[in-house]
Amino acid sequence: MKPLMAVITALLLLGCCHISMASVQNDDDDIKGTYIVHMAKSEMPASFEHHTHWYDSSLKSVSDSAEIVYTYENAIHGFSTRLTSQEAELLMARPGILSVLPELRYELHTTRTPEFLGLDKSADFFPESDSVSSVIVGVLDTGVWPESKSFVDTGMGPIPSTWKGKCETGTNFTAGNCNRKLIGARFFAKGYEATLGPVDETKESKSPRDDDGHGTHTASTAAGSVVEGASLLGYATGTARGMATRARVAVYKVCWMGGCFSSDILAAMDSAIADGVDVMSMSLGGGMSDYYKDSVATGAFAAMEKGILVSCSAGNAGPTSYSLSNVAPWITTVGAGTLDRDFPASVSLGNGRNYSGVSLFKGNSLPAKLLPFVYAGNASNSTNGNLCMMDSLIPEKVAGKIVLCDRGVNARVQKGAVVKAAGGLGMVLANTAANGEELVADAHLLPATSVGEKFGNEIKKYLNSDPNPTVTIFFEGTKVGIEPSPVVAAFSSRGPNSITPQILKPDIIAPGVNILAGWSGAVGPTGLATDTRRVEFNIISGTSMSCPHVSGLAALLKAVHPEWTPAAIRSALMTTAYVTYKNGQKLQDVATGKDSTPFDHGAGHVDPVSALNPGLVYDLTVDDYLSFLCGLNYTAAQITSLARKQFSCDSSKKYSLNDLNYPSFAVNFDSTGGASVVKHTRTLTNVGSAGTYKATISGQASGVKISVAPETLRFDQANEKKSYTVTFTGSKMPMNTNVFARLEWSDGKHIVSSPIAVSWT
């Protein structure tokens, strides 16, 4: 079986490693599949001493052979089990059963960022001692490489007394692998094994150990210790550090070679809640169905009730519209932007023209002369030979030459391995229209560089016009100060929100391109089986990488403001995010080359120093979210599945999705009607000094008139709350028209900013 990292790398390097969750059930009535059973705990008959006895009795009433895989105590009330489709239908009819949902499979959605975010100049703002060290970040991923220097516990005090978790023993992992930094490590494989059979312990560790790299990378990004002299093969040399270097880390291994199964994810969330984590970081996907059907959304609801902020990646399905996942309003959804750092490697042609590209290749350089150059499509008998698929190149036409391959389908680094196997000396990898000008650097196995679509097309013209084309590649190391930056990554998933259009997502963007962080010692930097190199740090890209940035920043804010709710922390991050560069120009989208929009960047790019003192926040309680569910017209059973308690919507009350106290605005007009009016009510809580805030609307918003009442809010004391209403008066506009604006409240010291997206559907 292919190592999971190879599969993920293939997907990641195509810009699509966060895949929509998929059912793993079989329609054959005799075939068993895994189901997650939600129970109405309050309906347990008095004859049962404990709810687990009731669960077991309910299961045995429909199947003599079925056994409980997991019992869930915190994330949901219920259990998971293996049933045929007929048995599942019978169980659904039993008393106290809220739902019987099929198992879903999820996939994983990787030095410079502390400086880029301003944390290097802000040590005085963020305490790095007792308060931060009491915060625990739980990371649900592929596990951890505990020997990584990112998890050294030098100078850390005793483990917080709030911690109830443990360090589990398994293949190549003992309790001794944990320390005062890495305070917990668990693994969850029962759901995986129920579907795919036993974990092959000769290929991956049945333990918290990370044989893949992804989990170590995300955990060290969120809260890795300070490591001097870090680099990948000499690239991005400097001091590596997580966002919250003094926070504690607890890892929960839920992803295996065969994927990440919802029964395992839910069990990990269940444990993380009980263990006492403060922040839950999940760089994996799903979440593109109703919230009560999505295990991440249901588990996150329970975590939110316990005061745990849940940060999730938005997905890597951009720049397609409606491609977001993890969009529940109680989840902080994170998209990806670039850094101001690059790894240039230029292409020099025989005609004297030079074209810039990027590469992380480190090894024997090319000979100091121009070499023969060939297009892969002309050196293959395959119809898609231009893609440099496995065994597609003709060695006699490739040997001793540099090969131009087109990007697409298979992993970028794998294309280089194909060229090398056929005797090629190097590779130029050209983007097609699918990826445009977005460049992601790779630790290639042979001298290689990636170029954008425009340069790729010009290089192909040269190849087609010169009878004896030649080329060489120059590797220029690491460069910083690249402008403009950040720009929204093309792969970053985009809005609008396909489940609840009234909630603008993503919430925010953070660094997610070419991120240096810790790595597993079990695989090479490319994840390919043929890559025998071993590195302590790796540079990879994806919303998987931007998510733990926000998770770590949330931990810092939690340490400074322990009384803040998850909604308050998210609000502080969102309302202080920026959408313009220092020169006043708007953030750019690499996919279009134009200004990015709130559907791309949400509230904007995270600015942690400003988030520390936001002035005002938009707070939310559990009751607010319950009212939101009523506004979705969820049934009592569906709400109970999420809330884990009996709750009925008030039939005499009119619930409006527009009134959820969210730090952003998504307004939807019917394009088939005439002029219409939509109102949104919000409440601001003062978390700063006394002051008077005035509202202003900025940005072009043709087709809609926006007014705020009242236009001035006076706050005299801490935690004081004031409400206001925004009225949107829309004129008739064509279907699929989107316009954007921004609402700002300012007292002269703080700017509390909210994005506005207005759509005609």
Active-site position among 63, 99, 141, 485: 141
Residue 12's H or E segment, with its range, is: helix 4-12
CA 176, CA 312: separation in Å to the nearest integer? 30
CA 726, CA 549: separation in Å to the nearest integer? 32
CA 28, CA 45: separation in Å to the nearest integer? 34
Fill in the amino acid letter for 391. D
Of 172, 198, 173, 168, which Cα lies nearest the Cα of 258?
A: 198
Active-site position among 18, 77, 214, 680: 214
Active-site position among 520, 544, 610, 664: 544
CA 247, CA 128: separation in Å to the nearest integer? 8
Give the number of other CB atoms < 10 A from CB of residue 287.
29
CA 511, CA 515: separation in Å to the nearest integer? 7
Q: Facing residues of 696 across strands?
A: 744
The CA angle 577-305-329, to the nearest 5 degrees, is: 40
Per DSSP (E only), the strands in 87-215 are: 97-102, 104-108, 136-141, 182-187
Tokens representing residue 696 in the block: 């202003």
520 is catalytic: no
Give the number of other CB atoms < 10 A from CB of residue 107.
23
Q: Is the dihedral of CA 2, 260, 412, 281 positive or negative?
A: negative
Biggest alpha carbon distance in the chain?
A: 87
Q: What are the residue ranges of helices labelled H in 153-227?
A: 190-196, 214-223
Q: Facing residues of 372 across strands?
A: 470
680 is catalytic: no
In three-state secondary structure terms, 173 is: strand
Q: Is the dihedral of CA 625, 629, 631, 637 positive or negative?
A: negative
Tokens representing residue 721 in the block: 């709350």
Residue 754's H or E segment, with its range, is: strand 751-760
Tokens representing residue 706 in the block: 């926006």
Beta carbons of 326 and 294 less than 8 angstroms apart: no
Beta carbons of 331 and 550 less than 8 angstroms apart: no
In three-state secondary structure terms, 426 is: strand
CB-based burial, 639-673: b 16+ in 10 Å, e otherwise: bbbbbbeebebeeeeebbbbbbbbbbbbbbbeeee
CA 230, CA 407: separation in Å to the nearest integer? 30
CA 704, CA 725: separation in Å to the nearest integer? 16
Give the number of other CB atoms < 10 A from CB of residue 521.
15
Beta carbons of 373 and 387 less than 8 angstroms apart: no
345 Cβ contact partners less than 8 Å away, ≥ 6 residues apart: 357, 358, 359, 361, 449, 473, 474, 475, 476
141 is catalytic: yes
Beta carbons of 110 and 216 less than 8 angstroms apart: no
Q: Is the dihedral of CA 397, 398, 400, 402 positive or negative?
A: positive
Q: What amino acid positions are annotated as catalytic residues?
A: 141, 214, 544
